[in-house]
Amino acid sequence: MSDPTLLEGPVVQTRGLTKRFGGQNVLDGIDLTVPRGSVFGFLGPNGSGKTTTIRILLGLATATSGEVEVLGRSIPKHLPEVLPRVGALVEGPGFYPFLSGRANLHRLDAADRFVDPSTRRARTDRALERVGLSQAADKKVGAYSLGMKQRLGIANALLTHRDLIVLDEPTNGLDPQGTREVRHLVHSLTAEGTTVFVSSHLLAEVEQICSHVAVLRAGRLVAQGSLSELRDAGQTRVEVLTPDPDGCLAVLTRLGLLPQRSTPVHYTPHAGIEAVSAPLPDQIAPHTIVAALVAAGVRVTGFTVDQMGLEELFVALTGEGFDVVQ
């Protein structure tokens, strides 16, 4: 039976979390809040500090300064109370290659003094089934593909009910079908009341499975909130396709915009037609821009008003690109 105090408030809360290696801040004053029941995407380029944060949350590393709470309890002080309620796959799974998948899970489960040994086989079989490894359960792990090992690592995190599941790059090495299975698995976990914390550098993965997101850049938290809030924070832009780009730049500048030549987003223009884009201030109506361009004799062959997508927003936040496809 879970301690009810472990089931109140945010699942993860950090205040001023800082980690230094030598004279360098790997994490710099992170204030992170993971709502209960969410699928929380922890997003950032490789090397931004995601895995270091996870290791601190799980007691695998210590913070230089700051406060960390998991399931309402201070970490690392209350790790013995918290860890039995947390499942994790961090930095890839590690298993005995000469044992089968089922035997590996049995050994790992036997090391957990908080579980009932009499239900071990049933729980192991259920976990293997949930990750699609029932048919390969008795095959030696040394013969598993990277994707199968990744699934086995997730199965280990699911051997018993958890209030929090932490998955570090869970679709690493998976084919598209395996990725879809992990996505469905995550949604089934939240339906059971489990909070899922997913660290990833794959934007498409985060968009499809997460309800909330935090974005790291070089050890600093640069954005945090629900996915819809981050989408709403994206800047609106106008894009003009025209054979008169110089005239278009002049008109948009005169209207108070900050235009620049750009690569077309929505069209493949014909030769001689270029794209000009600019952020759109709230006080300027799009139709006034078109009217001003026409009045100035600027020929307009295409005009689009678009909200900045998540990919563009995250690039703007981090200064780096993200992998957006599997």
Q: What is the pLDDT of residues 79-103, one digit of tens each?
A: 999 999 999 988 766 799 999 999 9
Query: Mean pLDDT across the stretch 67-71?
Result: 96
d(CA 227, CA 237): 20
Q: Whole-prediction pTM value?
A: 0.75
Q: Which of 123, 120, 190, 188 is nearest to 158 (CA)?
A: 123
Residue type, 10: P
Q: What pairing do the DSSP bridges indicate for beta strands 260-262 and 302-307?
A: unpaired
Mean pLDDT score of the chain:
86
Domains located in the chain, CATH noted: 4-232 (3.40.50.300), 235-307 (3.30.70.260)
Which pLDDT tens digit goes with each residue over 226-252? 887 877 766 788 999 999 999 999 999
Model confidence at 142: pLDDT above 60: yes
Query: Mean pLDDT across the stretch 256-272?
Result: 77
Q: Which of 42, 31, 90 is nearest to 206 (CA)?
A: 42
Asked if 171 and 202 touch (Cβ cutoff 8 Å), the reply is yes
Q: How confident is the model at residue 325 (pLDDT cuts 50, 70, 90)?
A: very low
Q: How confident is the model at residue 73 (pLDDT cuts 50, 70, 90)?
A: very high
d(CA 124, CA 138): 12
Sign of CA dihedral 22, 26, 31, 33: negative
d(CA 61, CA 207): 29
Which pLDDT tens digit goes with each residue over 290-307? 999 999 999 999 999 887
